[in-house]
Structure 1
Amino acid sequence: MADTTSLEALPASVALLAAAVGSDQDPDDTARALAASVAHVPASERDERAFAAVLAVLPTTRAWLVAHGLSAAQADASIADVPRKRDRYGILGTGMGWFCGIVTGRVVAVGRLQFEVGTHLPDGTAAWGVHVPETGPLDPEACSRSFAAAPEVLRRLAPEHEATVWSCRSWTLDPGLAAALGPEANLVRFAERFALLPPEPHDEEEGDDSAAKFVFGTDLDVARTTVPRGRVQTAVHERWAAGGHWTERTGTAPVGVPSSA
């Protein structure tokens, strides 16, 4: 993987990330430690220096993933999310916490989907997180294959984080998605695999921001003024135009193969 940053990683930043690979440290805590390791450089350099450290450690991540049961192809697909997210959303737009989740081996790709170890439901129940990378259509059969294959991979990767429930938090779990896109849409069929937890106070604000980011690849203000293209962008815009909002909801499903309606 080519390092396209123009600034070199700081040795201290590389060392702390390398030490966190495979650890139980929360990715957000790792991100805060990484930020502290570059705090002494000019502010204009900090994000790029931190990201350079992530890139520098990815070979270590790949080797650790393969040593802990992922295939070479799965390891490659897992770390590929770092440049993909950077190219689509930028460093700040993605958030260093997500990059740290990838580089420390907490988030891995198994087929069409990504899975995260060490997550929990709001009540503290251990869960395996589910994420959707930007790698093409969300084909229901491909998703089912991912759900079927993931438990064995995740148990080998982090047996201490064994879970019996999948957890997904996404704007695509908005209850009105089926009415907006139709029941046969791939996004709708994915969302219907999960049973929604009760709504939270911040769901609406996060939902609009997430729809803007993941559908339009930009922030909410820009997304609202963007001319929509395609069915999903049009559906998102139509709700906004009508004065409505998108909600980000959390859904769960028993580990196994969540069925798609």
Structure 2
Amino acid sequence: MSREALPSSVALLTAAIGRLHDPATLAAQLASNVADAPAGAREDLAMAAVDAVLPRTAAWLVAHGATREHAAASIADVDRKRDRYGVRGTGLDWFCAVATGRVVAVGRLQFELGAHLADGTRSWGVHVPETGPLDPAACDRAFAAAPDVLRRLAPAHVATVWSCRSWTLDPGLAAELGPDANLVRFAERFTLLPPGAHDAAAGDDSAAKFVFGTDLASARSIAPRGRVQAAVRARWDAGEHWTERTGTAPVG
């Protein structure tokens, strides 16, 4: 059901555009802002605020150095993620990140401003939107073009490293797909950081979400279609797990 956004929720997100606020904190604030509504209306009210602010987000991006194409592609991720994963499956924090200009699309990839490594080092986060094949040449162009855009958008958060956290950085992916697979070639751009305590727990859920578009229990029961789904399922059928790892690469 379509609902009109609460002015206070729109004001909350509008004030955060371009300020690189922590998305999880902003999502919690937005959830609190709609908490007095009936339980069944809260999600719709939160997303109504996200939708309402997107034109302002696009305008801010263009005013601060992004092209109109970058801005349109950036905010398009809200509908794309909502349609594919739903609000809960995506997470309100991601929608807040897009709506406040923290996540910006440049060519084939998305880049996150305000990211940090575990040791506090500034980074530019790298994400892969669901917009088709992960062509290596298209990724090359995105990595080449992004630094100028990101520096203009957030000159106080210039980074010297890219960071990516994904199940596709599982070190066993090449053995499953072969070294020439686009996902493998993407993962090889990054140097893995030491594994963390939660990498194994997160990997299976991420693979289920991004490869099958559903939760882990459902993904295990779906007949795989295509090479990637078959590879993910083969590891599960063997009683093994996927990990979610973090990798870095130097900018430039």
**Aligned residue among 80, 83, 96 for 1:100:** 96
8 Å CA contact 2:192–2:246 kept in 1: the answer is yes
Q: 1:24 offset after TM fit, Å?
A: 3.0
| Residue identity in the other structure for 2:144 | A
Q: Any idea what the Cα deviations from partners look like across 1:77-114, whole Å, max 9, x if unmatched? A: 00000000000000010000000000000000000000
Distance (Å, rounded) in 2 between the aligned partners of 1:82 and 1:160: 26
Identify which of 105, 109, 115 aligns with 2:105. 109
Give the match's secondary structure for 2:26.
Answer: helix
Secondary structure at 2:228 match in 1:
helix
Q: Please state whether the residue corresponding to 1:124 is helix, strand or coil.
A: coil
Question: Which residue in the other structure is 1:63 paired with?
Answer: 59
Q: Of 158, 161, 164, which residue of structure 1 is paired with 2:154?
A: 158
Residue 146 of structure 1 aligns to a residue whose secondary structure is helix
Q: Which residue of 2 aligns with 1:259?
A: none
TM-score of the superposition, structure 1-length normalised?
Answer: 0.96
CA RMSD of superposed structures (Å) = 0.6
2:27 aligns with one of 8, 13, 31 = 31
Superposition pairs for residues 1-261 of structure 1, below 5 Å?
5-256=1-252
1:253 alignment partner, SS class: strand
What CA distance in whole angstroms lies between the structure 1 residues aligned with 2:68 and 2:43? 29
Write the distance in 1 (CA, Å) between the matches of 2:46 and 2:37: 11
Which runs of 5 or more structure 1 residues have no equivalent in the other structure?
Answer: 257-261
The ranges of structure 1 where at least 4 consecutive aligned residues each deviate by more than 4 angstroms after the TM superposition are none
SS in structure 2 of the partner of residue 184 of structure 1 = coil
TM-score between the two structures when normalised by the length of structure 2: 0.99
Equivalent-residue separation in structure 1 for 2:229 and 2:198 (angstroms): 23
**CA distances 1:164-183 after superposition (whole Å, capped 9, x unpaired):** 00000000000000000000
AA matched with 2:126: V
SS at match of 1:231: helix
Aligned-pair identity (%): 73
Structure 2, unaligned runs of 5 or more: none
